[in-house]
Amino acid sequence: MFNLTYLSIRVTAPAVILAVCLSLSACGLADTRPQAAREPSRSEILRADPGQAQWLEKQSMLYNASELAKVVSGSSISWQVSPVGEAHAELFKHANTWLAVNPTALITQGKQSAFAQLRAPGFWQALRQNNIRGLYIAPVFSSGSAWSGSYYALDDYDDPVSYRFSDAAGSDDEYFALLDAANANQAIIGIHLIPAATGIGPDFFLAARNMRNYPGIYCMVEVPENLWGLLPDAKSEWDVKAIEPDAVAELGAAGLFAPKFTQEAQLALPGGWAATGKVRGLDGQMRRFAYRCYGSPRRAVLNWGDPSAAGRRIVSGGIVRGVGELGAALVSSSVEPLFGLMPHAEPVPGSAALEPGLGAAADVGLEIRRYGGWSWNRDRLPLSRLKYFQTQKQDFSDDVLLTTGAGHALLTGNAALLRLTLDRCYAEQIDFSHLAHSLPGVDGLLYDNGLHESKEAYRDLVKYPGTDGLLATDRRNLQASGATLAALAMGLQPGADISDAQKQKIQQGHAALAFFLAAQPGLFVIPAHDALGVLPPGQLPKESHSRTDEPDQTPVGGVNLLGERNRIQISQRGVVALPALYPGLDLQAADKTSFLTRLGELAAMRDRTGVAAGRYAGRIKTDGKGLVITATVLPDNKGIMLAATNFSRDKVSGSVPLSAVPQPGTTLTGAKLVDPFSGKSLGPAGSAISFNLPGWGVKAVVVQPKGAAPLGGTGLEAQTFAASPASPEPAAGNNAAPAKASEAAIPTDGK
């Protein structure tokens, strides 16, 4: 739920948010940064001085969480909204299609913040015109690098240390001005919470100085001096480093902690132990601490089960801050660092292996819902874990399964992995309406997603030159946007010129991927990198973009949302814009053939059909290497939508017998077909439904039995969706075979 000072969208919770907002204003917590006559220097902060400790405490999340808790504790706020029921479907009425923006990757003018740039009228006109009514901005909070003085890979990303916004995001005043702009355009905002692994900042400094309840925030253990030889050498107090596995085993044998945890031994997650340098405590004693970290020694894991509940209070404070004070409607979280934080003796069966993370997710989702907001878990969960998450109180979970399956199908032209994924999800009764389906963006495709066949599909990547350079360091994640996948499928290599015809073909494949994801129940999320069609460095010809061609200036993932209105290609923070196939959103909005226009047509279709709240009813079994047809039962008795996507670059045609369409509690005799994009009738269904799709072609129809409700209206009068106008297949490179027509039947007993 968002701030009722601006706009109320959920009538069940006005007292909740209004009370929180008024109370926060009265407490002066709108600016959590305390005033001081002189802010200490970084070198002074590291001294064990009681005065400095008091200053640090005022900056800490634990202290501010206690202040935020006073707003809710002892009041009726927690009892205004029911935490049970299908509250997630209510969000679809306000925003089922979202644009996701990372402030640290946004190229802005001068010192302009992300919040300030996102207020631009052209930006909101583009979103409103294309029915995108949700803006998700993450990460937004200040990170540990702001305290270390170094800007490294984690800067302002996933190691937050404060409830204050980062410099890249902007100020509180700029945020509320952005919220005003969103509300004026009938849109809502989402942000990311403090995750279960925070950065190295005030709370960590105080914990290592052994100040009161602060050590209880983290999974932290004081190491006796006679065992310091087992710890890594450190140049300073906060020169944190990972502890070697052999040393972990010896420290475990000494009784400090278990040598192995379920987290790494069974779940194969990047958890481990790290150590501080020699830290002088407030009592004058020198200490060294070992603590659980996740992915990096600079991410310290919260202790969810500590008796002080300090870690839980930090997350809870973030919820009050995000939902109550900031008025964010959709609040995302991450609890994966808590998975399997238990000693490993033998494999733990079922959902118990995910504790205390699974319970933490339920706690977080429940508290967000109590205050009137919606929760979104951003952990990239494999199927084996996702099915347990759907029993918790989280409204939405990230979908890496369909994104990976569909992205792989676009790259290879083979939909076998996607078909298998759909069938496994259906067998496990995964509720698609509780998923957030996102285009790949910078996260790309996650092949280690719990399906053995995905690892086999991963080996196919060697057939596509250019993919090796896009693999993450763990080599299980292909970091490629949808446009990049289409370009690779065409055999285009970094540095090759791209003709207008090839650019149009890339957009067609990109739009086909977007169509498949948008046609499924749940949220549809468009990362900014996909909205602009970001490609690998050096992929576009010089005349296609105004990027630097200096070899020593390596792009690091920036995007420029406003195209020609902002020609700056490198931010003051050193973020360089990647080459983009499409212009800024303001320019795309004026082009009826642009990728943004295609997305707008999909968003309008989602509004018209209500597919976001639908029920996935399985897929129609088909022949054809790249063809996938899904069936979704639409809400409010609107019928069954069939969505056909041809991921192959060959033509495919055929028909689906009406008897193969799922018939939930009704008969399809006498049914009619309706175009879900225009709402117009296509005539009687007959005995079969024909599909004639070009390469990377798509088609959707709604089968409406007698008595079905008409499809709803939409603010955007969209024409029939086409991934791209049909065009001859351009020659692309050594890997690109010319397209050829092939007739593939679509029987119900195929694959």
- The residue ranking higher by pLDDT, 709 or 524, is 524
CB 247 within 8 A of CB 324: no
Q: What is the mean pLDDT of residues 592-607?
A: 97
Residue 472 has pLDDT above 80, yes or no: no
Q: Which of 505, 488, 395 lies closest to 445, judged by CA?
A: 488
Residue 18: which pLDDT band, with cuts at 50, 70 and 90? very low
C-alpha dihedral (582, 587, 588, 590), degrees to nearest 10: -150
Residue 668: which pLDDT band, with cuts at 50, 70 and 90? confident
Residue 385 has pLDDT above 50, yes or no: yes
- The residue ranking higher by pLDDT, 463 or 175, is 175
High-pLDDT (> 90) share of the chain, %: 57
- Where b means 16+ CB within 10 Å and e means fewer, 193-219 reads bbbbbbbbbbbbbbbbbbbeebbbbbb
> Model pTM?
0.88
Q: What is the mean pLDDT of residues 547-569?
A: 58
Residue 1: which pLDDT band, with cuts at 50, 70 and 90? very low
Q: Which of 10, 31, 89 lies closest to 636, judged by CA?
A: 89
Q: Output phi, psi for 66, to 5 deg.
A: -65, -40
Residue 721 has pLDDT above 60, yes or no: no
Domain boundaries, the chain: 202-301
For the ranges 81-95, 428-442, 559-573, the one whose mean pLDDT is highest: 428-442
Cβ atoms within 10 Å of 111's Cβ, excluding its own: 10
- The residue ranking higher by pLDDT, 664 or 277, is 277
Report the length, in residues, of the chain. 751
Residue 146 has a pLDDT of 72
- The residue ranking higher by pLDDT, 399 or 87, is 399
Residue 567 has a pLDDT of 65
The lowest-confidence range among 188-202, 412-426, 494-508 is: 494-508
Helices (H), 611-681: none
Whole-angstrom Cα distance, residue 30 to residue 489?
50
Residue 544 has pLDDT above 50, yes or no: no
Q: Which of 585, 492, 734 lies closest to 120, judged by CA?
A: 585
- Where b means 16+ CB within 10 Å and e means fewer, 504-515 reads ebbbbbbbbbbb
Angle at 599 between CA 595 and CA 604, to 5 degrees: 145
Residue 103 has pLDDT above 80, yes or no: yes
Cβ atoms within 10 Å of 340's Cβ, excluding its own: 24
Q: Mean pLDDT for the chain?
A: 83
Residue 22 has a pLDDT of 37
Whole-angstrom Cα distance, residue 324 to residue 318?
10
Question: Would you call 599 helix, strand, or coil by DSSP?
Answer: helix
Taking only the tens place, the pLDDT of each residue in 601-640 is: 999 999 999 999 999 999 998 877 999 999 999 999 999 9
Type and span of the H or E element at 656:
strand 652-657
Residue 557 has a pLDDT of 76
Cβ atoms within 10 Å of 714's Cβ, excluding its own: 18
Q: At what angle do helices 500-518 and 401-412 cross, to 10 degrees?
A: 150
How many CA atoms lie less than 13 Å away from 507 in the CB half-sphere? 27
Q: Euclidean distance between the first and final Cα of the chain, in Å? A: 44
Taking only the tens place, the pLDDT of each residue in 297-306 is: 999 999 999 9
